[in-house]
Structure 1
Amino acid sequence: MRRALRSAVAGLFLAALATSAPAQELAERLGAPRAVREMVLRSTTDLSVMRPVIEAFLETRPGVAVRYEQWLSNNLYDVTRADCAAGGRAADLVISSAVHHMVDLVNQGCATRHVSAETAALPAALGWRDELWGVTREPAVMVYNRDLVPPEDVPHSRFDLLDLLRDDDRPYAGRVATYDIEASGLGYLFAYADSLEATTFGGLMEAFGRADTVATCCSAEIMAGVLAGDYLIAYNIIGSYALELAARTPRLGIVAPGDYTLILSRGAMIPKGAADGALGAEMVDFLLSPAGRAALGAADLLTDLEDLVASGAVDVDAGPSLLRPVELSPKLLVASDRQKRMLFSARWRAAFPQATGGPAADR
C-alpha cells in the first residue's frame, strides 16, 4: 500500500512538473536540412551571440544539425530539473550563466560524466566531477552613458559608485539599475558572489535603497535604458553583451571595477537522458579546443581584460590579482540552499521594495 501511495504521489509530482514546465524564449534549427544527427542545445546565451560559435562547430560536421533553444536562466534550471526527475529524454547539452544552478543539478545526479583531453586540461576551478565545465570567460562590469555621465562621475570602483549614490544632491537617484535577483539567476549569483567578496556589499545595499536604484530584468533591457537615458549607470552587467553592444554604440561606456572584477564561466553539462550525449560531449570538446576558443573569443564570450583595456573597450583594468573567478565547485551549493536564499532575498528585497518581480529574464 505504501509503495503504491508513493508511486501515485511521484506520478502526480512529475505530472505537475510537466504541466507547469516553462517554455523557451525561442528555438531555431541550425545546420544541413538533411543532417542525420540533431543535437538539442539549451542555453541562456542569446542566439545572436552564440550563432557564429555553433556555425563554427558545424563547419566540419555536414551530417550534424543543432536545435538551439534559448531559455531564461531560472526557467532553464526548472526544465532541466524536471527532465531529470522524470527520467525521460533530455537535452543533449545545457549551457547556463547561472552556474550555481548547474552545480546544484550536478549534485542532484542530473549530469553525465565525460572525460577528454580538452576537459582534463581545464583548471580545477572550471570543472567539477567530470560533469560540469566552464566554457567561457566573461567579466561582470558597470556600464554608463558616455553622453550623460561626466568623466569625473564615471565610477571606477564600487567605492566610487557608493560615493555617487550617497551624494546629498542625489543626481543619480532613480538613475542606476541592476538585475532583479529574484527574477534573474545570474543576477542572484553575482549579488551572492559580491556578498562574499566585497567589504562594500552592505553599504551598497543600503545606498541602492536610499537612492531608489532600479532592480529589473534583462541585460538588453537595462542597457537599452542606459542608452536612452532612463538610467545613467548599470551595475553587475555581464560583459559579453555589453561589449557586443558597445562595439555598435560607442555611447555605452564599460568599466571593469578596479576594486575587484567577478569573472563568470558559463557552465556546460550533458544531462542524463540525453538522446545523443556523445554529440553533446563533442560540442563540449569543441568549445574547449583552440578552434572553439577562437569562435568564443570572436563572440566576446572569452575575454581578456588586459586586451580590452589596451583596445579602449573597457575603461579600467582590475589587474590579475583583483580578478575573482566564480569557481565551479560545491561552494556554490550554499547559494542554492533554500534557507540561505530566503534570507538573502529578504535582505535584498528590503533594499529594492519596488523591484519589478518580473519573469526570470537574465542570460
Structure 2
Amino acid sequence: MIEKDNRGASGEDGQEDPVHVRTLADLARLAGVSAGTVSRALAGKELVNTETRERIQAMAREHGFRPNQMASKLRTRRTGVIGVVIPLGHEKRQQISDPFFLTLLGHLADAMTESGYDLMLSRTIPDGTSDWLERITGSGMVDGVLVIGQSDQWEVIEQVSRSYRPMVVWGHHRAGQHHVTVGTDNELGGRLAAERLIASGAKKLAFMGVTQGIEIEMRHRGARAAAEAAGVPLVHIPARLAGEEMDPLIQAALSEPLYEIDGIVAASDLIAMSALRCLHGLNRAVPREIQIVGFDDLPLAAHTSPPLSTIRQEIALGAKLMVDKLTALIGGGSAQSEITTPVLIERATTRTL
C-alpha cells in the first residue's frame, strides 16, 4: 500500500492525495521493485538496467526523496569525511591563515568535494609524542587523513603510518620511507634559486628560513650546494615563517655591514615578501642592489612590488594527487609517493640574464 494522509484515498476536493515517499520501501512500492533495487539505482550501480535506474532516479527527484545518508554510512562503515591536519612542531606561531596553507587547503577542498568527501580540519602543536596524530587516526570520525607538512614530526608520521594505512602527507620524501608523500624536490628548488642568483652576478648569498622542518632543511641544503660549487659564500638567517620577530630579524640582517648580502634565497614566498618590505624600508633597490628568489609561487607573488621571482611548487596538482592517492588507499588499493619538479618563475626581483 502507498501511504497517504489520514483523509483516505481522496481529499475533500475529490482529488487523490499526494504520495508521501519517506523511505526506500515507499519508493520501492511506488516503482514496483524491491528496496534493494532502489538502493542500487540511487547509488548509480550498473547492476540495475539503465531504463529502470533512470526511472527510479526520476521518481526520487519528483518526490524530493533523499536517502538516509547516516544509515548508508553506518552500513558501509564510512564517515564520508577526510581529516586534514597541520602539525606545527617547529613553527608554533603559524596560523591556518598562512597564505601557503590557505592555497593548498582551497585546492584540497575542491578535490575532496569532487570525490564526494567532506573535510575536517585540525591545526595541532605536537607535544613530543605521537598522540597528536593518533587522536585523529584513531577517532573513528574520518575515513582517511591528509597531513600538510611534516614540520619536525617525520618520525611520528612514519611510525603512525605503519599501523594506519589511509594517510597521505604533503612533504619531503626520504628513500625507503613507509608513509606516502606528495611534494616537491625541495633540494633541487633551493639549488635552482641559488644558481639563478649567482648567474646574474650575486657575490654573497643569504638563505632565510628555519631549518628544523625537513622541507626547509632540504631547500637550504640545495642552496648551500650551489653556493659551494660556485665558490660563493652563503650565510644562514633563521627567519621564521610567522611571528612578530620575523621582520626585525630580517631587517637587522640586511642592515649588518658584515653580511653585505646581494642575493637572498628565501625558504618561502612569505619570507621573501618580508625581506622585500624591509629592503624598501632601508631604501635598497631591488633587484639592482640585492636580488630575491622566493619559494612556493603563491598567487600573491605576482602582485608584490616588484613582482617576486620564485620557485614554483605545483600546489594545485599536488592537492589533486593527495586526494587521489588517499581515496585509493581508503578503497583498499595502493599508492606510491610522488615528487614533483620545481620550476623557476622569473619576475622582477632578479636581474635579467
Q: Answer yes or no: same fold by TM over 0.5.
A: no
Would you tell me which structure has more helix in proportion to its own residues?
Answer: 1
The structure with the largest alpha-carbon Rg is 2
Higher relative contact order (CA 8 A, sep 6+): 1
Give the alignment's TM-score, normalised by structure 2: 0.41
